[in-house]
Amino acid sequence: MILVVDVGNSRIKAAVFEQAMLLESYVFDNINLKINIQNILNKFQKVTELVVSSVANLDKQSFLDFDSSLKVSFITTTDSFPFHNKYSTPQTLGIDRMILAAGAVLAFPNQNRLVIDVGTCITYDFIDDQNNYLGGAIAPGLRLRYESLHNYTAKLPLLSLESPNYITGNSTSNSIHSGIVNGVVYEIDGFINEYKLSYPNFIIILTGGDTDFLAKRLKNTIFANSNFLLESLNQTHQYKIKND
């Protein structure tokens, strides 16, 4: 068994895999990191490997403390990946985007793929059917948009995420909900439609913390999987073992 851990901007995701099968997934904060990992290991005592990736400042020692009983591995940008990186500044490409791209290539061979990760930021990553990673886009996520309206204006309130069933907001709160949620939906559908004009044989993968909230609102047909990053991390690790 393998325990994979992804350290994100705002939270930590983890999952236990038996080969390609996801047995259980978790989300927690960084405060009780070691306690949470130990609790997982206590439940799944057949785990033999701990695989970690991080876009945040990573305290490697917190994970290396487990190396007396587990093999601990870190996925970094210098590892082997199953795509050709055509990004003009490859050294700035986040490891999370690289792992998502790798997962898309390994899970959906010989297709054009657009991976949309709806978390703290919304990232778009495009990999063509020749396994060329061409880049994408980065935009603020839903909660960042709510926080920005509040933090950078004098009077707009900080609201929690809600689902508007209207376009025209009849109050300040309703207008904020409409602008943010509908705006994100139109943005995502717009990106998808633009790619569809140029690329056939096309799959859209939606993942991240807001997957379930957004998936049913999009007009385009998508493959929605909130655990796709964790699955991709497991697949990338297996690819690394075979190709190093």
Strands 2-7 and 12-18: antiparallel
Contact partners, residue 68, CB within 8 Å, separation at least 6: none
The Cα–Cα gap between 215 and 207 comes to 9
- Helix 142-151 to helix 183-198 angle, to the nearest 10 degrees? 130
Give the active site residues: 96
Report helix, strand or coil for 167. Answer: coil
The Cα–Cα gap between 141 and 108 comes to 26
Contact partners, residue 83, CB within 8 Å, separation at least 6: 101, 102, 105, 127, 131, 132, 133
Q: Are 132 and 83 within 8 A, CB to CB? A: yes
